[in-house]
Amino acid sequence: MFNFAVVKVVKIKDIMLRIAIQTKGRLNEQSMELLRDAGVRIGDDKRKFLMQAKDFPVEILFLRDDDIPQTVAMGAADLGIVGYNEVAERGYNVDILEKLGFGACRISLAIPKTEKYEGIEYFNGKRIATSYPNILQEYFKKNNITADIHTITGSVEISPAAGLADAIFDIVSSGGTLVSNGLVEVEKVLFSEAVLIGTPGLSEEKMAVARQLMFRFESVIKGKGKKYLMLNIPQSSLEKAIEILPSMKSPTVIPLAQEGWCSLQTVVDDNDLWTVIEQLKAIGGEDILVLKLDKIVL
């Protein structure tokens, strides 16, 4: 008689998170760069719409940005990287998990520069061309404005000159497009940047992977726009130097072999870099090195 041991094969289902990003366009490159910097490496086969990452349990789904909020709301992708403007316009039920620090823009009302503007009442009875009718509708409702909203998908900025509208409601970044079309921005309605969105109610296992990814994103984002600064300074100027330096905690101070001198190391915001360098030089700072910062893990 044999005793047959019944061996139950438990298949551990791998957790795989699907992230939707823009196929091409303004957010594609920076979305890819963010993923790469966060250690999510994918190939660059442009023909594939779904690609699995090499060393992180995620797969990337490439979509038009217009379709990302709905895809995430439905759960066909667990996460998505998309402009907040698209999330606000489409109105789908998604969680906004993290601001990603790129793709900054605003949606503004703009009118021909020859027009006199004295306030939002200007828009009563006007025709306004936009690709963001829902955001505009809500804004007008809040401000008791009754206007004629024309939804168009093409080049909104040419509508007033073409006689199709009196004003536009469109994305503005540098403002160059408005200027070259003879328009002037009169109301900034919504500020936007790329955000990470998620399907509401993701399973705990998926959320664990999502949290890991968000932690990595955060470290990458914190390192952006910052430099690592190293310099030598006379000991006698140390206190003044510490006052000048904006540091996350306090700067690292290392004694040098040469008596009376020390080395200072700290993180400086790109916007403050040259001012800080000039101030440090003025109090005797020497051998100043500025290094690119990759990530800040706190």
Q: CB–CB of 203/210 below 8 Å?
A: no
Q: Which residues bind ligand PRT (CB under 6 A)?
A: 22, 25-27, 64-66, 83, 85-86, 103, 105, 157, 170-177, 192
Structure tokens at 160: 């007033």
CB nearer to ligand PRT: pick between 71 and 237 = 71
Q: Of these partners, Zn ion, ligand PRT, none, which one is at the site of residue 170 (CB under 5 to 8 Å by kind)?
A: ligand PRT
| Residues paired with 230 in a beta bridge | 265, 289
Other residues' Cβ atoms within 10 Å of the Cβ of residue 129 = 25
Residue 115 CB, nearest approach to ligand PRT (Å): 19
CB nearer to Zn ion: pick between 90 and 224 = 90
Q: CB–CB of 119/224 below 8 Å?
A: no
Distance separating alpha carbons of residues 53 and 160, to the nearest angstrom: 46
CB nearer to Zn ion: pick between 65 and 218 = 65
Residue 37 is a binding residue for Zn ion (CB under 5 A): no
Query: Among residue numbers 62 through 91, which ones bind Zn ion (CB under 5 A)?
Result: 65-66
Helix 28-37 to helix 204-223 angle (10° resolution) is 100
Residue 18 CB, nearest approach to Zn ion (Å): 20
CB nearer to ligand PRT: pick between 160 and 285 = 160
Structure tokens at 180: 């070259």
Length of the chain: 298
Structure tokens at 236: 């006698």
Q: Of these partners, Zn ion, ligand PRT, none, which one is at the site of residue 250 (CB under 5 to 8 Å by kind)?
A: none
Tokens 């509401």 belong to residue: 200
Residue 27 CB, nearest approach to Zn ion (Å): 10
CB nearer to Zn ion: pick between 83 and 251 = 83
| Residues contacting Zn ion: total by CB under 5 A | 2
Residue 28 CB, nearest approach to ligand PRT (Å): 7
Distance separating alpha carbons of residues 91 and 97, to the nearest angstrom: 16
Residue 132 CB, nearest approach to ligand PRT (Å): 9
156 DSSP assignment:
G
Contact residues toward Zn ion (CB under 5 A) are 65-66
